Structures are given as C-alpha cells and as structure tokens.
Chains A and B, each alone.
Chain A
Amino acid sequence: AQKITQTQPGMFVQEKEAVTLDCTYDTSDPSYGLFWYKQPSSGEMIFLIYQGSYDQQNATEGRYSLNFQKARKSANLVISASQLGDSAMYFCAMREKGYNTDKLIFGTGTRLQVFP
C-alpha cells in the first residue's frame, strides 16, 4: 500500500539559513509523482514542487529543491535562504495513476518555524 512518512513534526530554522524537510515513501508502482505543498496559517494549500519517478534530475523551483533519492525512496524538500514567510506546515504527497485508480496520499506534515 502507498505510504508517505514525514518524521519531523516540527522544525526551527534561522532566517537566511537552509533547511531540509524529510519525506520517505513506499510504493511498488514504478510510475508515480511526488509533490510538496505549503499550508500557511491562513489555511490554503499551495503547490511548491513536483518530482516524477522517472526524472533523472532533482526538481528545483526558485528557493525550493527536491532531493530525490529513488533507491532510498526519499524525497526531501530543501528550502534555501529561509524567510519569515516560509513559516508554515509543509506536506509531502505521492500520486499514483493506475488504469482505474488515481490517488493522492499525504504525509502528516512538518511545521516549519523561521526565526529572525
């Protein structure tokens, strides 16, 4: 069965420093997508970055990068040069598309707090 594990309930980072949020996944399907979403205190879900299972290179989007280690089944989010506005909940998710199925599974999230 699909599973996403985020082992860090909370993380602290100083402004302008980099931080890594951990995510491991479990699947037997060779084709899947990995996503990171941000949820600020206002509650909306904001898409950050995507990594496909067949992608050879790690995904990057501005200050966000995804450290994809397929053999270890990990997809860690790296935020460089943290800003106060990065304080939020961060969710890792995996999407698998089968012939008759298309599910998105989320981890339990990591609350990131950026301090000055």
Chain B
Amino acid sequence: EAQVTQNPRYLITVTGKKLTVTCSQNMNHEYMSWYRQDPGLGLRQIYYSMNVEVTDKGDVPEGYKVSRKEKRNFPLILESPSPNQTSLYFCASSLAGSSYEQYFGPGTRLTVT
C-alpha cells in the first residue's frame, strides 16, 4: 500500500529535550515536506526537500532541522523544543512539479511543556 508514515503519532515532551519525528514514504517520490498546523493558521511549510541531500526552508523553519540522506526518509529534528512548537505536524511526499498533489502522513501531535 502506497503511504507516508510518521512516528510517533503523539508525543509529550519538555522544553529543551531534543526530539526527532520520523517520516518515511514508499512511493519513490523525489519531493518531501514538513508542515505544522495550528488553529486559525492552516498548514505552514517548515522545510522541504526536492531530492536526496537537497533541502530548503519553508515559511516557518526557525527551531527545526531536517536531513535527507535517503530518498524514502525525511526526519524532522527539534534540537531544543519550546512550548511554541506545540502543534500538529504533517509530513508529505509527492513527485516534483506544481501539478502533483502531495500525499500526507497521518500527523504527529506534539506537546512541549
């Protein structure tokens, strides 16, 4: 089954404790991206990757890191989480190009206390 998986689905952590949210896709997509969703703000792009070893900032990259060492994986790293990073996070993948829809993972709900 073609899918994007994220882990963990739920996470409660404390300020400053480094964490990684994993994302994996099995569709051989070049493009992968991370979004955060906050009430009233829709989804905002954090980082994206157009291919292996190619990453770029989205609209809200501060406080996040990513890496793309393999085509299928695109982990999101929070080196020192803060309460304002409490959010619902989505990973997505697609073929490259403006005509292709993105396939979303199930989401990770992160709470930073």
Contact = CB atoms under 8 A, between A and B. Distances in A.
Which of A32, A50, A101, A104 has most B Cβ within 10 Å? A104
B96 A35 contact: no
Contacts, number: 67
Given A43-B106, A43-B107, A44-B107, A106 B44 contact: yes
Nearest to A52: B99
B60 to A, nearest CB: 12
Interface residues of A, number: 29
A103 B44 CA distance: 10
A contacts with B: majority SS:
strand
Interface of A: 4, 6, 31-33, 35, 37, 43-45, 47, 50, 52-53, 91, 93, 95-97, 100-109
Shortest 7 CB-CB contacts between residues of A and residues of B: A45-B104, A33-B98, A97-B98, A106-B43, A108-B42, A106-B42, A47-B101
